């Protein structure tokens, strides 16, 4: 596991974007796993700028998003389909038929999970972008006694819903269910890039990277993966820095 701590948010975004650019350029038909939330916005902004400058084309890229809320149509301003369109897809030259996002409006949610898993089995992810929740969730894989390997319906924890309430009019408007790619599917990606910002994430970062590997902290399972790059801002990395000597500081 490679860990880099950045003193500047722009530098973190640029570095993460450069990893994605290199993947797209190195692969004939690259497959990207994409995340949502506040953390990747600057990364997507950097990728859009790279596209505008002619540094990269997304014509041959296939994408898979980690998750989607159940019950929010793609046109809803807080759906992840809408988020991806606003922050990335409408600004680049990706083929819309190569965009894959779980359908939270499906009549048969179990069937939708099976459909998504069949797509993932056919096209392994070259680079998976991840964030981490305050309780250690990745995607919407919440802490528990066990974790599901494939795409599944998850009941969101109160802590997760409260953390996401800032994007909605009120806490009560936050959906209670979501579809999420499973931890097993995430760990099949050839490379994983975990990006974390903010002092409120410092303790969970330390637990995920240095604590026991346990389903009580789903992100701790990333320790089992052979190719993980962790990008932290200084606030998110402060507990990690205190715990580990010789961490590489990025500039």
Instruction: Name the catalytic one among 13, 68, 126, 142.
Output: 142
Instruction: Provide φ and ψ at 23, rounded to 5°.
Output: -65, -45
What phi and psi values does residue 150 have, to the nearest 5 degrees?
Answer: -100, 180
Clarify whether 137 is annotated catalytic: yes
Q: What is the side-by-side order of every strand in the sheet holding 177-180?
A: 67-69, 177-180, 152-155
DSSP 131: -
Q: Which of 103, 135, 141, 164 is catalytic?
A: 135
| Residue whose pair of structure tokens reads 């790059």 in the numeric block | 229
- Asked if 67 is an active-site residue, the reply is yes
Closest by CA position to 242, among listed 214, 202, 213, 193 = 202
For residue 182, the 8-state DSSP code is -
Q: 13, 50, 65, 67: which is the annotated catalytic residue?
A: 67
- Of 112, 117, 126, 137, the catalytic one is 137
| Residue 233 annotated as catalytic | no
Phi, psi of 109 (to 5 degrees): -70, -35
Please, are residues 144 and 208 in contact by the beta-carbon 8 Å criterion?
Answer: no
Q: Is 2 a residue of the active site?
A: no
Q: What residues act catalytically?
A: 67, 135, 137, 142
């Amino acid at each position: 596991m490679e860990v880099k701590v950045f003193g500047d948010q722009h530098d973190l975004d640029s570095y993460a974007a450069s990893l994605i650019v290199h993947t797209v350029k190195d692969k004939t038909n690259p497959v990207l796993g994409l995340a949502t939330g506040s953390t990747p916005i600057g990364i997507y902004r950097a990728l859009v700028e790279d596209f505008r400058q002619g540094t990269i084309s997304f014509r041959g890229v296939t994408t898979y998003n980690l998750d989607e809320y159940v019950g929010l149509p793609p046109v809803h301003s807080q759906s992840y389909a809408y988020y991806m369109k606003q922050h990335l897809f409408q600004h680049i030259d990706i083929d819309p038929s190569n965009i894959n996002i779980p359908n939270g409006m499906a009549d048969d949610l179990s069937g939708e999970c099976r459909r998504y898993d069949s797509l993932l089995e056919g096209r392994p992810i070259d680079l998976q972008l991840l964030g981490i929740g305050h309780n250690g969730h990745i995607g919407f894989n919440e802490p528990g006694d066990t974790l599901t390997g494939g795409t599944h319906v998850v009941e969101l924890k109160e802590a997760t819903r409260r953390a996401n309430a800032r994007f909605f009019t009120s806490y009560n408007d936050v959906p209670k269910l979501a579809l999420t790619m499973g931890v097993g599917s995430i760990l099949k990606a050839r490379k994983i890039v975990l990006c974390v910002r903010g002092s409120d994430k410092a303790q969970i970062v330390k637990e995920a990277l240095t604590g026991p590997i346990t389903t009580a902290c789903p992100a701790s399972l990333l320790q089992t993966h052979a190719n993980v790059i962790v990008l932290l801002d200084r606030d998110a990395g402060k507990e990690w820095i205190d715990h580990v000597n010789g961490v590489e500081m990025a500039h």
